[in-house]
Amino acid sequence: MKATSHGHRHSAPGQHEHEHEPQYGLPEALPADEQLLWQGSPVWTTLAVRRFHVRKLVIYFALLLAARMASLLSDGQALWPAIKDSLPLLALSAIAVGLVTLIAWFTASTTVYTLTNRRVVMRIGIVLTITLNLPLRRLEAADLRAHTGTTGDVSLRLLKPDHIAYLHLWPHARAWRLARPEPTLLCVADAAAVARQLTNAWQSLNPGQAAASARANPASQGHTRPEASPTLATR
């Protein structure tokens, strides 16, 4: 398990923020015997709703505004003065929702997930970039959470004693798994296809374990035991 970190370097106008990368999304060029299978980033609109809860924030502030208006009107204030008195709260609500949405956009735009035939690489971080190298041989299990449409989260459970601190991963971690954090490919498009590629890559790298698990679970139709393979379980 390997993690590297580096700050963003200033780029000339028109250059990509990570122009210094020897290969996009990776801290170094892939070796000759390693094959790039997939690269992607979170869908920022889905990330804003699912991980940063923008929709819930909008509902919360809307309820606050409605309560404020109801209170003013019940005190006998006319409609237009009540609206004017509520404008500061409306402005603060809009700023709060806008800032959270902007953070979600920056998170998605600075994140690159990479799957090769040997590892999963996560380049994450807005101000300080951290690159996590997760070898497929060190994966105990994986889990797919499908969203509405084709997006979804793919969570990775690491073999013990491998451990990455939850705060280092956030928001790229499965929710509420604090004692044993699970790195997560958040809100990726066509998540089911990514899950299949991950499973196929693991099985190609570990043919003996995959075959043994399939024999032990003949009715699973390819869904092997979590301790033997990171074949995706849907939640």
DSSP 85-117: HHHHHHHHHHHHHHHHHHHHHHHHHT-EEEEES
Name residues of the chain where pLDDT drops below 70.
1-19, 208-235
Q: How many CB atoms lie within 10 A of CB 27?
A: 17
Q: How many CB atoms lie within 10 A of CB 96?
A: 14
Q: What does pTM read for this prediction?
A: 0.82
Question: Which of residues 56, 82, 107 is at a domain's end?
Answer: 107
Residues 137 and 230 placed together within one structural domain of the fold: yes
Token representation of residue 190:
């066509």
Tell me, yes or no, whether 220 lies in a domain: no
Q: What is the pLDDT of residue 190?
A: 96
Q: What is the pLDDT of residue 10?
A: 35
Residues 118 and 56 placed together within one structural domain of the fold: no
Range of the domain at 70: 46-107
Q: What is the pLDDT of residue 23?
A: 87
Q: What is the pLDDT of residue 226?
A: 35
Is the bond preceding 171 in cis, omega lying within 30 degrees of 0? yes
Question: Which of residues 54, 83, 107 is at a domain's end?
Answer: 107
Residues 37 and 125 placed together within one structural domain of the fold: yes
Residues 230 and 118 placed together within one structural domain of the fold: yes
One-letter amino acid of 168:
H
Q: What is the pLDDT of residue 19?
A: 59
Tell me, yes or no, whether 26 lies in a domain: no
Tell me, yes or no, whether 64 lies in a domain: yes
Tell me, yes or no, whether 213 lies in a domain: no
Tell me, yes or no, whether 13 lies in a domain: no
Spatial distance between the Cα atoms of 188 and 162, rounded to a whole number of angstroms:
24
Residues 170 and 199 placed together within one structural domain of the fold: yes
Tell me, yes or no, whether 24 lies in a domain: no
Residues 130 and 230 placed together within one structural domain of the fold: yes
Q: What is the pLDDT of residue 235?
A: 64
Tell me, yes or no, whether 83 lies in a domain: yes
Residues 143 and 37 placed together within one structural domain of the fold: yes
Question: Which of residues 107, 137, 160 is at a domain's end?
Answer: 107
Residues 37 and 140 placed together within one structural domain of the fold: yes
Residues 120 and 157 placed together within one structural domain of the fold: yes
Number of structural domains in the chain: 2
CATH number of the domain where residue 174 is located: 2.30.29.30
Residues 115 and 103 placed together within one structural domain of the fold: no
Residues 51 and 131 placed together within one structural domain of the fold: no
Residues 138 and 200 placed together within one structural domain of the fold: yes
Contacting residues for 173 by C-beta, under 8 A, at least 6 apart: 166, 181, 182, 183, 184
- pLDDT per residue as tens digits for the range 181-207: 999 999 999 999 999 999 999 998 877
